[in-house]
Amino acid sequence: MNREVLNELAEQAHEGPAQMSERVCLNMSQFKAVLRQQRKIDDNIILRMNTTDTAKMSECKALFAVLQAAYQRRDRDIEFCLNVLDQKIKQKQEAGTPSFSLQTQYEWVDGERKVESIVKQRSLDVFKARCPFFEIP
């Protein structure tokens, strides 16, 4: 994999085009779209591994760093949205208004943590198969 592609992937993993915000957290279709955009790195892992010289430990290390950055970003964004929703639910409860839809959204976003663990495991399985000598920290 050439360095330019790797740098582009690293930039997407850290900051990418889709940014999480309170507005996005409160709109489930936007939230799904942002996560879908952020998971493109994982969706294309097989293609990326086919263009990576897995005989070079440095290539495996660099790609692993990109994956880790993407995982951390998604975890951070999911937690951010859970906090936003939790605050909105508390505000509604304090005001004495129903918060059923917000609670449903909260449960759905919380469920994304399980999806995230599946996505991570699938990507790591591919990574381990293609970079068998790289020890994952």
For residue 63, give the nearest of 134, 6, 123, 132 by alpha carbon.
Answer: 6
Question: What's the first-to-final CA gap in the chain, in angstroms?
Answer: 22
What average pLDDT does the structure give for the chain?
Answer: 84
pTM: 0.82
Asked if residue 118 lies in contact with residue 124, where contact means CB atoms within 8 angstroms, the answer is no
**pLDDT tens for each residue of 4-51:** 555 555 555 555 545 789 999 999 999 999 999 888 888 887 777 777
pLDDT of residue 58: 85
Distance, in Å, from the CA atom of 121 to the CA atom of 128, rounded to the nearest integer, reads: 10
